[in-house]
Amino acid sequence: MADIVIRAEGIGKKYHIGKKHQSYPTLRESIVDGINKPIRRMRNLLQGNPSGVAELDETIWALKEVSFEVKKGEVIGVIGRNGAGKSTLLKILTRITEPTEGYADMFGRVGSLLEVGTGFHPELTGRENIFLNGAILGMHRPEIRRKFDEIVAFAEVDKFIDTPVKHYSSGMYLRLAFSVAAHLEPEILLVDEVLAVGDAAFQKKCIGKMESVSKEGRTILFVSHSMGAITQLCRSAIWLENGYMKLSGPAPEIVSSYLTEGTEGDSVWNNPTPVANDLEVHLKSASLLTLENNTAGTFNYDSNFKIEISYHVLRSIRDLTVTFHLFDSQGNLVFESMDTDMPEWRGSFREPGIYLATCTIPSRLLKPGRYFISIVSYIPRVKIIEHHERVLVFDISGVGYSFHPQRRGIVAPQLEWKVSHIEERI
């Protein structure tokens, strides 16, 4: 029991939604409310609602009955859909918010990165915030000074270290915040999905740093929607769903269960999201098709198949790119492909109207197994317009697969080889 550094027992967190609480109503508001209350009650009765139903103070449980233990040196991934309670759990562990029920014990100095700039004062410079955060972690000034150059070098903000952080971009904020959290030697490091804000090179750098931190015997709780990062960094994982802990265990098994839940027959996707007024492009649908244009969720290893994406251009737009990301059952990105791979669409304008983009996946490429497709519309280096995760799921069967089942690699392309006998044996 001495090596337990995090112990959570029956944690629950309840929030009030619906009714707005006002501590100090004005005299005018009190008079108006008193006049209108009988009218509202009569309207509710005529509509068949109980009296006062419009003013119900509803509650939801963001977390409920969550219990687990983490040993020293473990790296635990926390996964789940948006709203599952992941960030709430980390806020309880860092004492930002109190649980409604249960308790959490933390044995050791805690460093956290829950959102961009957590714990930073916007009016202070990067240098001053490093020392401030170190002091919050309980470190002495000589100890912080010893790590200072390493922190700045990792964050790559040396030119702006004496600039108030309110002038930093979100990426600069993130790099410095993560560098401080990781380098000031906390015994427990809590990292939320905030790493998704960084670019690919920075994410890789952060994963490498967390790996080195874990090898030093420190404990990490890592919240992420990147299943590839979870399986790469974490040996164990916790799966939260609707506030409850659904599963816990080895990371590859938990990730595989999470990705495959409720995805049977997802060969067609229609976007249920209403079109926003400021949206230039609306992704309408996506589907998986055979070469005969029949929808299907399973394809043979030796068969071609197609991905079809329909979208509505609402206003003339330049440099629009529609892409899909293909992931394996462990959340690894196998590859991505985009419609601007076709030169005629690269950098061009797209006028308002309905567009249909079709991409053919060649046979003898993907290993037998389960795969997922996310679709994205964006303007390169400007903004992401829409991003929908795991909208399609399909299986590649072993039909036509003549290789060893344990062939290594994410893909198994059947490449063309030429072997020539150029010399007789002497």
Question: Tens digits of per-residue pLDDT, 192-212?
Answer: 866 655 566 777 777 788 788
Residues forming CATH 3.40.50.300 domain(s) in the chain: 61-260
Rounded Cα gap, residues 61 and 343, in angstroms: 51
- Tell me the whole-structure pTM to 2 decimals: 0.59
Query: CA geometry: angle at 101 spanning 64 and 138, to 5°?
Result: 105
Residues forming CATH 2.70.50.60 domain(s) in the chain: 268-397
Domain spanning 61-260: CATH superfamily: P-loop containing nucleotide triphosphate hydrolases (3.40.50.300)
Write out the chain's pLDDT in tens, 426 residues. Answer: 568 889 999 999 998 775 555 555 665 666 666 677 777 666 766 666 655 444 555 788 899 999 999 998 889 999 988 888 888 998 899 888 899 999 999 888 887 777 655 667 888 999 998 998 888 777 788 888 998 998 898 888 888 999 998 888 877 887 888 888 778 777 888 888 666 555 667 777 777 887 887 788 888 898 887 777 787 788 899 999 999 999 999 988 888 778 766 555 588 999 888 887 778 899 999 999 999 999 988 888 889 999 999 999 999 998 899 999 999 988 889 999 999 888 887 778 889 999 999 999 999 999 988 899 999 999 888 888 999 988 999 988 877 887 876 788 889 898 889 888 888 766
Q: Tell me, which fold does domain 268-397 have in CATH? A: Coagulation Factor XIII; Chain A, domain 1 (2.70.50)
What local confidence, expressed as pLDDT, does residue 18 receive? 58
Neighbours of 176 (CB within 10 A): 27
Is residue 218 within 8 Å of residue 73, measured between CB atoms? yes
Read off the tokens for 339.
Answer: 């419609």
